[in-house]
Amino acid sequence: MKSFNGKVAAITGAASGMGRTLALQLAKDGCHVSISDVDTKGLAETVKLVKAANPNIKVTSQQLDVSNRDAMYAWADQTAKDHGKVNLIFNNAGVAYATPVEHIDYDKFEWIMGINFWGVVYGTKAFLPHLKASGEGHIINTSSLFGLCAQPTQSTYNATKFAVRGFTESLRQELDMMNCGVSATSVHPGGIKTAIARKSVASPEIEEFTGADSEAGKEFFEKFFITSAEKAADIILKAVKGNKRRILVGPDAVAMDAMVRTLPETYQAIIVGQMKKMRDKQIARKKRKASEKQTQSA
């Protein structure tokens, strides 16, 4: 797919962040868009921005929970009906849940799996027949840097993103064998400047591993979000045009991928060492603040 002009793209998680930015950039390239999200207010804002970016393209929207299989299939069929065809599906919606394995809440594990993994599976299967019918289609599934390497307290998120990677790589090989005009790409963003960390769910026990409460932890990790959503969307769309199998988004993703491939076992010890240092700093900082507060009170 060398051009997006005149094509039709469906995008999940389009109320903000990377989903919204993908919709805007595609619209500027002359691509019609069908967008979805659970956030109706954010979705309406994206529609307004897309129309302003290119009044000549058609944009439709749908409130959608990607973990609802029937709703996903209905949206895929409605998109094809509204636009006459579908060329691209960006399975972009995602959430985060941080907790040590020992304290995993099964309901929350099912919640994150439903959105991050099953949402991708449903989106892929619901749209695949429409993509094949278009004669020129592409499936873009968002995994993560954490689909390449594991992190403490991220076991549930890692599980979903490793699963997306494996699912998509297998899918791509099948599509290559079918030669049906449809391809697939696995996207691995590093730290992207979106609200995913701020909106993430964390268990109270997270402090045991990070030395900081969940809110402080979110603020800390957001410092490592170094790639803008605009830059990320640009990298992704260029890679789709190049029919890439895997996209590493951001210098942190490139560096971590290289480390994991070079040091497949040692990288874990390196991460543990860094996490311990960060935890010790947070604990020392808390003690210092408590001491200063006690002194002021005296």
- Give residue for tokens 């094809």: 80
**Among 93, 234, 90, 94, which Cα is nearest to 168's?**
90
Q: How far is Cα 100 from Cα 157, in angstroms, rounded to an integer? A: 11
**Among 243, 138, 124, which Cα is nearest to 182's?**
138
CB 120 within 8 A of CB 94: no
| CA terminus-to-terminus distance, the chain | 70
Give the residue numbers marked as catalytic.
157
**Quick one: 266 exposed, middle or buried, by C-beta within 10 A (0-12, 13-18, 19+)?**
exposed
Residues near 166 by Cβ (< 8 Å), separated by ≥ 6?
none
CB 133 within 8 A of CB 178: no
